[in-house]
Amino acid sequence: MKFCDECGSMMKSGEGEDHWVCDSCGYEIGRDDGDDEWTTESQVESEIVDVSDAEDKGLPTTTAQCPECDNDRAYWYMQQIRSADESETRFFVCTECEHKWREDDH
């Protein structure tokens, strides 16, 4: 990733990927050999780790009634799913059947 020396915006690879181009102000600069060590997310290979049968999910637990199996314990976490000026939504995951639901679901 490279930032524009003129306006500070993030630069992107230009045609042929031999130079950087700023979308905001049009400033261009050649790519150095050291720039090759940076990769984009699509170029990075990731390893998928299966933790579905792990005992501890690393999440806090609370008393919550599962709508699927009536278990009374659930993991919970907060996630921002709306715009930044809206409050976060609390999600629950049953400790027994792993059913997932939101706090405002009925």
Q: Which residues are annotated as a binding site?
A: 4, 7, 22, 25, 66, 69, 94, 97
Q: Where are the domains of the chain?
A: 2-34, 61-102
Per-residue pLDDT for 21 more than 80? yes
The percentage of residues in the chain with a pLDDT greater than 70, rounded to a whole number, is: 70
What is the distance between the alpha carbons of residues 66 and 47, in angstroms, rounded to a whole number? 32
Please give the residue that has the higher pLDDT: either 4 or 34: 4
Q: In what order do the strands lie in the sheet with 73-79?
A: 61-63, 73-79, 89-94, 100-102
Q: Which residues are annotated as a binding site for Zn(2+)?
A: 4, 7, 22, 25, 66, 69, 94, 97
Cα–Cα distances in angstroms (integers) from residue 8 to residues 33, 42, 75, in the given order: 22, 24, 42
pLDDT score recorded for residue 71: 93
Two structure tokens written together for 52: 């579905």
Which pTM does this prediction carry? Answer: 0.44
pLDDT score recorded for residue 35: 53
- 41 phi and psi, to 5 degrees? -60, -35
pLDDT tens-digit map of 60-100: 888 999 999 999 999 988 888 878 888 888 899 999 999 99
CATH fold label, 61-102: N-terminal domain of TfIIb (2.20.25)
